[in-house]
Amino acid sequence: MNDIKKFNYTDILGWSVSRYNRFLNCKRQYFYEYYAKFDKDMPIEKIQFLKSLTFKALETGNITHDIIKDMLKRYQVSTKPINKDKFFKYSLNMTEKRCSSKTFFEHYYNGDIILTSEIYAKVKNILENFLNSPRFAWFEKNATTTSSEWIIEPDGFGETRINNLKAFCKVDFLFPIADKIYIIDWKTGKVDEKKHSRQLIGYSTWANYHFGKSAIDIVPVIVYLYPQYNELSVKINDYSITEFKNSLADETKDMYEYLADIEKNVPKDKQEFKMTGNTFLCKYCNYKEICFENKL
């Protein structure tokens, strides 16, 4: 189970859910996000700084992911139940450390005061939802026996090949029980059945490629942790995997259209990357400061 295939580095772009969503939302934002070094108008440091801005909701999700990851790694060392007092103290420390090392979008653009206590209250709520869930009880009973085979947010970005194209599908947590592989992805934001179902098919395709498991033996589950615990599981079959592979090939080709050199992943001129007309997206865009200054 720990034999994830490795690949030599190449420049060619790799598809991912987040990359393609960015591409769909706004081509200019996509340019800033992935091709900052090719911008002739702005210093790369400025673009990278804006890229690093985080949002309260996003950071809450990131912190929660990391705490759950650390908790699972602790279960790999010992199957003893966790000490909740220590666990929440650790969670508070991590929240404080992370909040003090980040610049928040809400502060940078709106001058809002970011209260760590407010972020931690939500982190704690999310973690309590998880610890009190039937899935956690099930997991403690069934999954810990195979802990040496768990894959917890594998290093790198989950590089894979789908129809010989580079792609990235990074699973949060994968573990075997009997002849099945379970894939769990934690969410702290809104339920989006269509988008998240597709993500589950992507993870299943990843597991199919790396471990040779057929669709019927893969059980992918999206776990929603806020505002209350909920799960989304999708029945995957060979047809859904084939369909996913085909759409990924189309989407990769769409992104290739914006490149002057596909092999080296060199973009066409920035002007080819049109700005969206969706003002709601612009309102919450990290790059709005430079984008509106440089309307080209």
The site for ligand SF4 (CB under 6 A) is made up of 26, 28-29, 275-276, 281-282, 285, 287-288, 291
Q: Could you tell me the smallest distance in angstroms from the CB atom of residue 181 to ligand SF4?
A: 38
Q: Could you tell me the smallest distance in angstroms from the CB atom of residue 130 to ligand SF4?
A: 33
Three-class secondary structure assignment of 249-275:
HHHHHHHHCCEEECCCCEECCHHHCCC
Say which DSSP state 146 is in: G
Q: Could you tell me the smallest distance in angstroms from the CB atom of residue 30 to ligand SF4?
A: 8
Spatial separation of the C-alpha atoms in residues 128 and 131, rounded to whole Å: 5
Which residues are CB-contacts of 74 (< 8 A; sequence separation ≥ 6)?
Answer: 82
Spatial separation of the C-alpha atoms in residues 230 and 222, rounded to whole Å: 8
Using the minimum distance from each CB to ligand SF4, give the nearer residue, 131 or 281.
281
Chain centre distance of CA 224:
14
Spatial separation of the C-alpha atoms in residues 65 and 91, rounded to whole Å: 11
Using the minimum distance from each CB to ligand SF4, give the nearer residue, 202 or 267.
267
Using the minimum distance from each CB to ligand SF4, give the nearer residue, 116 or 276.
276
Half-sphere exposure of 80 (CA within 13 A, CB side): 5
Using the minimum distance from each CB to ligand SF4, give the nearer residue, 27 or 107.
27
Q: Could you tell me the smallest distance in angstroms from the CB atom of residue 48 to ligand SF4?
A: 15
Q: Could you tell me the smallest distance in angstroms from the CB atom of residue 273 to ligand SF4?
A: 9
Using the minimum distance from each CB to ligand SF4, give the nearer residue, 38 or 87.
38
